[in-house]
């Protein structure tokens, strides 16, 4: 039986969660939180790399971030299924891993799998807390936030990931079949994600949100509703001045 986690980064495809919130996951792992990764598909429809290769890469990437668990579901890359069977399978993983904090895809994005994954995850996180649904012990995560992928949104908060930026890039380097790595010869088919421009864009976006949040590198997140703050004094240095 897999141990439980405190934090779960969920992606439609292997590398999504690392790209969207790898710095934040590394930060939480460094602070002693038990971090897990869950990939809803095996990435088999990607232009580059095989599902087996992407599994190995995902395991190396999770290691780099300091995660204690990496799991895969098989909901169909390129046509992510969101029916009752998939909802049940995801609910079962949530009840077994019992994360308090969940990061997942945003409601809308360029790749339709991301929006579908958002809805499926949001629904499963809620249903997972219903005592009378299924036979496993219920568990509802304390919070579910969306990380940013292709399309932008007005973030609810930005996490300062300056101290773990290099860790995030090392985790992304583990995806050898997917992402450009400076200094490495690349003979694979050209894709948007595998281009040097994409890597620069990852850094550019993090620098942009870092600037807004008052740090060198930032990862933006979206909350479904307003965030409750116990002590507003803690917000005085959040980059607004």
Query: Minimum distance between the CB of residue 131 and Zn ion, rounded to whole angstroms?
Result: 33
Binder of Zn ion out of 6, 8, 14, 16 (CB under 5 A): 16
Strands 218-222 and 157-160: antiparallel
Q: How far is CA 7 from CA 10, 45, 50, in A?
A: 10, 28, 28
End-to-end CA distance of the chain: 48
- Give φ, ψ of 223 to 5 degrees: -105, 150
* Between 20 and 210, CB nearer to Zn ion: 20
Report the half-sphere exposure of 37 (CA within 13 A, side-chain side): 34
* Between 41 and 215, CB nearer to Zn ion: 41
Report if residue 40 touches Zn ion, rule: CB under 5 A. Answer: no
Query: Minimum distance between the CB of residue 41 and Zn ion, rounded to whole angstroms?
Result: 8
Helix (H, G, I), strand (E, B) or coil at 185: coil
* Between 13 and 116, CB nearer to Zn ion: 13
**Number of residue whose CB is nearest Zn ion:** 13
* Between 18 and 87, CB nearer to Zn ion: 18
Chain-centroid distance of CA 102 in Å reads: 9
Query: Minimum distance between the CB of residue 222 and Zn ion, rounded to whole angstroms?
Result: 16
Task: State the Cα–Cα distance between residues 241 and 238, nearest whole angstrom.
Answer: 8
Q: Binding string, 153-172, against Zn ion, x = CB under 5 A?
A: --------------------
Task: State the Cα–Cα distance between residues 218 and 162, nearest whole angstrom.
Answer: 7
Binder of Zn ion out of 5, 7, 10, 13 (CB under 5 A): 13
Task: State the Cα–Cα distance between residues 237 and 241, nearest whole angstrom.
Answer: 8
Task: State the Cα–Cα distance between residues 101 and 14, nearest whole angstrom.
Answer: 19
Binder of Zn ion out of 10, 12, 29, 40 (CB under 5 A): 12
Which span (7-15, 19-27, 130-138, 230-238) binds Zn ion, by CB under 5 A?
7-15
Which span (12-20, 30-38, 152-160, 191-199) binds Zn ion, by CB under 5 A?
12-20
Q: Which residues bind Zn ion (CB under 5 A)?
A: 12-13, 16
């Amino acid at each position: 039986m897999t141990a439980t986690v405190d934090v779960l980064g969920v992606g439609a495809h292997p590398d999504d969660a690392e790209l969207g919130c790898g710095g934040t996951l590394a930060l939480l792992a460094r602070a002693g939180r038990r971090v897990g990764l869950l990939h809803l598909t095996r990435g088999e429809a990607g232009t580059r790399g095989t599902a087996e290769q992407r599994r190995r890469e995902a395991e190396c990437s999770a290691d780099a971030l300091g995660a204690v668990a990496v799991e895969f579901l098989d909901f169909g890359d390129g046509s992510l299924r969101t029916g009752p069977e998939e909802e049940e399978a995801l609910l079962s993983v949530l009840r077994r891993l019992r994360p308090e904090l969940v990061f997942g895809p945003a409601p809308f994005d360029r790749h339709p799998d991301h929006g579908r994954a958002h809805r499926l995850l949001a629904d499963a996180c809620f249903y997972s807390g219903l005592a009378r649904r299924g036979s496993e012990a219920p568990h509802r995560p304390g919070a579910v936030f969306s990380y940013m992928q292709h399309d932008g949104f007005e973030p609810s908060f930005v996490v300062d990931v300056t101290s773990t930026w290099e860790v995030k890039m090392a985790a992304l380097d583990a995806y050898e079949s997917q992402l450009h790595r400076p200094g490495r010869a690349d003979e694979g088919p050209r894709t948007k994600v595998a281009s040097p421009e994409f890597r620069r864009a990852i850094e550019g976006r993090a620098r942009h949100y870092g600037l807004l949040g008052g740090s060198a590198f930032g990862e933006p997140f979206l909350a479904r509703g307003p965030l409750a703050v116990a002590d507003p004094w803690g917000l005085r240095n959040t980059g607004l001045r």
